[in-house]
Amino acid sequence: MILKIFSKIQRPFRITFRLMLKCGRYLDEKIYSYTKKVRVLFVVSDAYGFSCQLPVIKELERYGKNKVFVGVTPDKAIPENQVSVDERDADIFHQFYVANKRAQYMKWDLVVNTHLNGFYPRRRCLKGYMHHGPGFGILGNKVAIALKYDVFFGLSQHQKRIFEKVNPTIFKKNRKFYSVGFPKSDSAINSRPDPFEILSDLGLGQKKTILITSHWQDNSTLRRLGSLPFRMIAENFSDFNVIQTGHPWLWNDKTDIKWREATLIQMKAIEDTCLNAKFLPYIQAEALLPLADLLVADQSSIMTTYSIYDKPIVFFDGPDTEFAVNEVGDLYRGASHSFGDIDGLVAACVNATESGVEKKEGRAAMRDFFYDNLGKASEIMAENILAIKSLNRP
C-alpha cells in the first residue's frame, strides 16, 4: 500500500523531469542549429580503425576550423598514451584528441565509429558507422550493424542493394546510407610508392614478390594451414621474394597463446632457412601490397584491396569457407586462382603467375562491387559529413 502511494507521488515528478529533459535537449539542439560549423567526433577502437578514419580527418582538416570542428577519442576511458594507434598516425591523433569523459558530454553533430563499442554521447547527435575493412558479405552482411546507427557510410551502391534485399525498409525512415567507398584505399590510386625502394628497406632483393596474408579466424590460411604455405612457396619459388604477414589480431590475445608462440617460432625458422623469405607479422598488409606481384589470401577483405592493383590472386577456398552473401563468394572465386587444401597451393601459384590476365575480368568485377569513388572516397565522405548537420535539426 505504501509503495503504491509512493509510486503515485513519484509519477508527476518523473513526468516533469522527462519534460524538462526533452525541453533541454530541444533548446540545446536549437542553439547549435544556428551555428554553421559541423562538429564531428571519431571514436577510436583500435589502431587499424583509426587508420581508416585518418584519411577523412585529413580531408576535413582542409576545410578549416570555421567550417568543421574535429575530435578523436578512445572508445573507453583510458589514458591518452594507452590508446592503440600506429606510430605514423600518432601526431594526428594527439592533435585532435579529446578525453573520453569530456567527449561524452560535448556537443557533436555526428559521432563516427569503425566498430561496435560502448562509447555513449550524452547529448543528442547522429551516430555513424564507417568500414574498418573494404569488405562485406564475407563473415556477415553488416545489416545488424547498420540497424544500430543513424548514418551508414557504405562501400558501394551494391552494398545498399544487398542491405535492402535483406531488409527492404532499412533506409526508408530515420537511417541514411551514403555510398562513399573505402577512404583508406584512396592511397592505392593516388600515391604509388616505388616497390624496389620498399624491398630495399626490407632487405630483400630486386625481384618479383609473393605476399602471403591471413585473416585471424579459425578457417583462415594461418590458423588452418599454419606455416606450410610460407615454407612451400619459399622453397618452390626461389627466384621470388616471399613475404608472410597476417591480421594484427593473430598476434594478440584474440588467439591461443600456445598457437601464437609456436607459429612465431616456426615462421622465424623458415625465414632463417630460406634466404628469399621474410616474416613481417606487425606490418599492415596494405603497406606491402604495392610490392607484391602475387597475393595468396583467404576470406580477408585484403583481396578486394589487391584487386585495385589488377595483379594475380591465389585464394584459399578451404572446406570451412562460407560466405554470408553468395554473390560475394562468387566474386572472390571469379577474381582468383583457388585451392582447397595444401596439396593444391603450389599449382595454384604457378597458374596465377603464368596467366596473369586470365582472371582480369573477375578482378574488375570485384573492384566495381566494393569500391565506389575509387581514389576519392575520403573527399566524398568529408563532403557528406559537412552536409549532415541539417539531418540533426530539431
110 versus 202: the higher-pLDDT residue is 110
pLDDT of amino acid 197 = 84
The answer, yes or no, to whether residue 283 has pLDDT greater than 90, is: no
Please give the CATH superfamily to which domain 189-370 belongs: Glycogen Phosphorylase B; (3.40.50.2000)
Query: Contact, 182 vs 134, CB < 8 A?
Result: yes
Summarize pLDDT for 65-77 with one digit per residue, the tens.
999 999 999 999 9
pLDDT of amino acid 394 = 40
The answer, yes or no, to whether residue 19 has pLDDT greater than 80, is: no
**N-term to C-term CA, the chain:** 42
Summarize pLDDT for 128-177 with one digit per residue, the tens.
999 999 999 988 888 999 999 999 999 999 999 999 999 999 998 889 99
Least confident of 12-16, 62-66, 178-182, 364-368: 12-16
pLDDT of amino acid 67 = 94
Do the domains at 24-182+374-392 and 189-370 have one common CATH topology?
A: yes
Least confident of 103-107, 297-301, 370-374: 297-301
Q: What is the mean pLDDT of residues 101-113?
A: 97
- Alpha carbon 275 to its chain centroid, in Å, reads 33
Beta bridge partners, 179, equal 154
Q: Residue type for 93, please? A: F
Q: What is the mean pLDDT of residues 235-252?
A: 92
The answer, yes or no, to whether residue 218 has pLDDT greater than 90, is: no
pLDDT of amino acid 17 = 47
The sheet with strand 209-212 has its strands ordered as 277-279, 241-244, 209-212, 294-297, 313-316, 337-339
User: Domain segments of the chain: what residues?
Assistant: 24-182+374-392, 189-370
The architecture (CATH level 2) of 24-182+374-392 comes to: 3-Layer(aba) Sandwich (3.40)
Q: How many CB atoms lie within 10 A of CB 385?
A: 26
Return the ∠ at Cα 96 (arms to 92 and 101), rounded to 5°: 135
Strand 176-179 and strand 151-154: the pairing is parallel
The answer, yes or no, to whether residue 393 has pLDDT greater than 50, is: no
Least confident of 38-42, 184-188, 193-197, 282-286: 193-197
pLDDT of amino acid 205 = 82
pLDDT of amino acid 203 = 83
Summarize pLDDT for 84-96 with one digit per residue, the tens.
898 889 999 999 9
Cell numbers standing for residue 157: 551502391
Q: What is the mean pLDDT of the chain?
A: 89
Interacting residues of 265 by C-beta distance below 8 A, sequence separation 6+: none
The answer, yes or no, to whether residue 24 has pLDDT greater than 80, is: no
Query: Binning pLDDT at 50, 70 and 90, where does residue 217 land?
Result: confident
Which pTM value belongs to this model? Answer: 0.86
pLDDT of amino acid 35 = 64
The answer, yes or no, to whether residue 359 has pLDDT greater than 90, is: yes
